[in-house]
Homo-oligomer: A and B are copies of this chain.
Amino acid sequence: MVNINKMHWSAAHWAEEIERRLSETDRQAPIVNTDSQDTRDFDAIFIGGGAAGRFGAAYLRAMGGRPLIIDQWPFLGGSCPHHACVPHHVFSDVAAQLLLERTFSGKLWFQDMNNKTISILEIIEMFRRGRTGPHAFMNYQSKEQLDLEFVLGCPATIVDAHTVTVDDRIYHANNIVLATGSRPKKSTVSNGNLKGVYDHVTLVDHLDYEPGSTAVVIGSGKTAIEYACFFNATGRRTIIVSRNPPLANIPDGDTRLYLMTRMMEQGMEFLEASELLAIDGDPEDRVKSVRILTPSGEISIATDFVFTALGQRPNSELAAHALGVKVDAKGFVEIDSRMHTSIPHVYAVGDVVGRPMEMFKARKGGMYAARNIMGEEAHYHIGDYPDFMHTHYEVCWLGLGEEEARKHYHNVVVLKLPPDNPDGENVALPAGDRMMLYAMMKPKLSGFQKLVIDGSSRRIIGAFHVGSGAKDGFQYLAPMVRRGLTVDELGEMDELFLNPSYFIQLCRLRAGSKNLRGM
């Protein structure tokens, strides 16, 4: 067990090391990177080096403290580059690209996509090879640029609130930060373990055959819809089975309708108020069909490929057992606004503390834990946040949808593109980056956007965007909206035309009026 602290591996070297370790099944010695010349106690051991643990450790280090990260994977970054955000985005890029290619199949230079089914396996294998890149970069950045100490490639055993062991090494610290993440909930129906039943983790880790012509997706949340659109874009019949209506997370009716219409045009099938009853297998223990209870009775669908997206469970068991930290009914670790658990010196951050299971919350949780550990009194209140998901499109939103706004404000003004007009969505606006071919040739596909405004205070109270390229902007719009951004202030900003969101210019067209009108 060599300490690599004095070695300076490049990202390429890290990639080789990580690939080697991931391909070997035997238990391996941990990768130890600790500074033996630093005689200080660790201020905190972060159990888990994903988004929350790594950012927490980096922040603590920047404050002058001494963190140690322990992770069972041979890389930092956690599930994001391995199973979650990165593959989600790869598959969503593929879906956007294939929507374009299918829409313009045989036109201009586009290849003929009629009846063409794209290999899911090849795309997964491409991702499996490619994910080592972000892994390696995380390790490189963490060690060489962030000066972090870590022990990777072996699970940690928590002894008490100050002591953790890895392999046969013992690490002491003033505090422990639980950043152990979450894992997909498994379906409770029988035969959920048949070959051909996947969630977002097992899909990228274990798929080893080409799925047939029908994909069945169980769930209605972000992950279910994102993966369903990917499967659909590959040319497969895709059926979404859910108890709840899809897109319920998007708080605006027009936006949901635009998205649903586009998904149904692509042939996606939705079985709502329905649930998976059973999965039936063939003699080789492979899925051959699913039985679904729908409002009109039980149906059976022949398929060799089932994807479940039923939410996440916290990885809190070991910490709860070893330390006795209080968890809620679902197992999520309970914390206060300083990220502190029920046990002195034990903090928890990231997915293991519950929703929202978003990157910003994980990373900022880590940051706030670090501040508190280093003696600041720092409270993290999540509050309103901008949100996004992907269908074949990028979808972003913040604040109130029109329906909710009308419940709270008597003078709601809506600016939207396309506006209500006799041609509906068949008008050429909006037209933004990566949507231009649609705008020219198939305008109803070029996106949808909407601002919800309190006409009395002239404040923006909601924003919705379907298309491409608005996500970055929503990050910066959100704090401005929280501070009271008005139509008039937006109308004074400098648009970078053709801006993906037309919010600035839509506001400017109406801002001259004392009595705001919709459009």
Contacts and interface: CB of A to CB of B under 8 A. Distances in A.
A512 B476 CA distance: 21
A273 interface: no
A429 B137 contact: yes
Interface string A61-98: 11110000000000000001000011001101110111
A434 interface: yes
A102 to B, nearest CB: 11
Contacts of A80: 497
A498 B89 contact: yes
A127 interface: yes
A141 B517 CA distance: 14
A439 B130 contact: yes
A119 interface: yes
B434 A434 contact: yes
Nearest to A116: B109
Contacts of A126: 108, 440-441
Contacts of A100: 97
B480 A476 contact: yes
B427 A364 contact: no
A208 B55 CA distance: 57
Interface stretch (A149-157, A168-176, A415-423): A415-423
Interface in A1-31: 10-12
Copies in the complex: 2
Interface string A491-516: 11111111111001100111111000
A293 interface: no
Interface in A366-393: 367, 370-371, 385-388
B360 A140 contact: no
Interface string A124-153: 001101110110110011001110000000
Contact of A134 (B428, B476, B501): B428
A436 B509 contact: no
Given A11-B422, A428-B130, A475-B473, A85 B434 contact: no
Nearest to A133: B428
Q: Which 8 A-B pairs have the closest CB atoms?
A: A130-B440, A133-B428, A62-B512, A472-B473, A359-B497, A476-B476, A62-B513, A10-B422
